[in-house]
Amino acid sequence: MIPALRGTRDILPGEVEKWQYVERTARALCERYGYVEIRTPVLEREELFAKGTGEATDIVQKEMYAFTDKGGERITLRPEATPSLVRAYVEHNLEQSMASAKLYLMGPMFRYERPQKGRYRQFHQLDVEVFGLSDPAIDAEVIDLAWTLVETLAIPSAELVINSVGCSECRPQFQKALLAALGEDLPKLCEDCQRRATINPLRIYDCKVEADQPIIDRLPHAVDYLCEACQAHFGGVKRQLDAWEIPWRISHRLVRGLDYYTRTTFEVLGQTLGAQNALLGGGRYDRLVEHLGGPDRPGIGFAAGMERLVLALPESVAGDRVQAFVVGIGDDGRAEALRLLRELRRAGVSAQMEFETKSLRGQMKRADRLRARQTLIVGGDELARGEVTVRNMENGEQRPVKRAEVVADVRHSALGIRHSETTTGDV
Ligand code: AMP
């Protein structure tokens, strides 16, 4: 037996229904907000992420599945989607061909991380990006989409945190203030922070080391150093979130250290996930498209971890139940049952039958295990009367239905059930 790789997992029947539910919900919401799906390759050139994710990041330094292929090219499994979307946007000149470049992608990402609950080496993201728009209302729309996804999934006690990291005008002042405030405390911080202080001081805010926290809590806040334009932008985002009654709080720790990240940053935190509590994260990156060789266009987006959304779902989401289970008694009954089975399926009803067991009891047991809603029984008596016995498996009621009408009858009640179960009526 050759087991699956560490940090990868099989999504088995029983769990896969939750995935389908999350995917369905995400897809429906993205499309309702005017985002169009894009699918890009899992394999990309290593340099796309070295440039687009950042040479100095842990992702690029330690976590990429990068290798030389048989043709001698340096390639990698994608560790995130944003650089791929930027590449596709530029490569296919999507700003010309799309009414507005609002895109989403769902798929696997790969990072060589230390696996734990909610953290895997192959994981899946929903990635949402907008190119070419810079009004604060688009920031608010992207945040609204992220928040509404979490709300629609009924994930309990989720929290939206936002911040602004300014732009190339005002960030240098913030960085200077940060280094000044660190001053004598710097040698007391962990080794990683010492390194960050020289390469990328803003990343000190990401530090999770317990002993460093009191020092980091005293550091300056990015929002106090915003230039006028960045202040106005952040004010616009907050006002729009308020107007839409989306609850937010500022987290001064939400700082992205890379040059092309600008202005708005945000995360939605879940309370049930332990250490890996970020359900999704995103922000504005007004310099990234240009940085990757495209025109000077702003961008904003977020990535949600599908594993974490599934883990945070409130309770088991049951898959669609079998609508009709067909039972055949005797050779003639069985032949008729097999005919009916196919008619039902062709009429759009999910229908099953037991092929191996011939006894009525055995077949009914199977219908129970499958949690079928209705059982359609075709035996000698029914055949003689030109009827089928329809049994409601929830309350045990049985009624005879004309053979010629049974498909329409079952289809009708199946549609009725599906309709009444879509309580919110929206996904
Ligand atoms: P990032 O691309 O690092 O900003 O992450 C965005 C979201 O993806 C996070 O909020 C997580 O929900 C999810 N995520 C990131 N890394 C992993 C991982 N190794 N395993 C599972 N989910 C992840």
Q: Ligand 1 centre and the CA of 122: distance in Å?
A: 10
Q: Ligand 1 centre and the CA of 38: distance in Å?
A: 20
Q: What are the φ and ψ backbone dihedral angles of 57, each rounded to 5 degrees?
A: -75, 155
Q: Ligand 1 centre and the CA of 305: distance in Å?
A: 5
Q: Is the CB of 269 under 6 A from ligand 1?
A: no
Q: For the packed helices 16-32 and 136-152, what is the interaxial angle rounded to 10 degrees?
A: 150
Smallest CA separation from ligand 1 atom 20, residue: 119
Q: Is the CB of 82 under 6 A from ligand 1?
A: no
- Residue 185 confidence (pLDDT): 87
- Residue 63 confidence (pLDDT): 95
**What homologous superfamily does CATH list for 16-170+226-312?**
Bira Bifunctional Protein; Domain 2 (3.30.930.10)
Count the Cβ atoms, other than its own, within 10 Å of residue 2. Answer: 4
Q: Ligand 1 centre and the CA of 262: distance in Å?
A: 20
C-alpha to C-alpha distance for 7 and 302, rounded to whole angstroms: 23
- Residue 415 confidence (pLDDT): 74
Q: In sequence order, which residues have a C-beta less than 8 Å from that of residue 210 and are 6 or more positions away?
A: none
Taking the complete model, does pTM exceed 0.75, yes or no? Answer: yes
pLDDT tens by residue, 83-110: 999 999 999 999 999 988 999 999 999 9
- Residue 198 confidence (pLDDT): 86
Which atom of ligand 1 approaches the CA of 121 most closely? 19
> Which class is 324-425 in CATH?
alpha beta
142, 128 contact by CB (below 8 A): yes
Strand segments, DSSP code E, in 141-254 are 159-164, 249-250
Task: Spell out, as residue ranges, where the chain has pLDDT lower than 70.
Answer: 257, 316-319, 417-427
Smallest CA separation from ligand 1 atom 16, residue: 119
pLDDT tens by residue, 18-28: 999 999 999 99
Domain ranges of the chain: 16-170+226-312, 324-425
Q: Which of 251, 254, 280 to mutate to test the pocket of ligand 1 (most atoms within 8 A of CB)?
A: 280
Q: Ligand 1 centre and the CA of 152: distance in Å?
A: 20
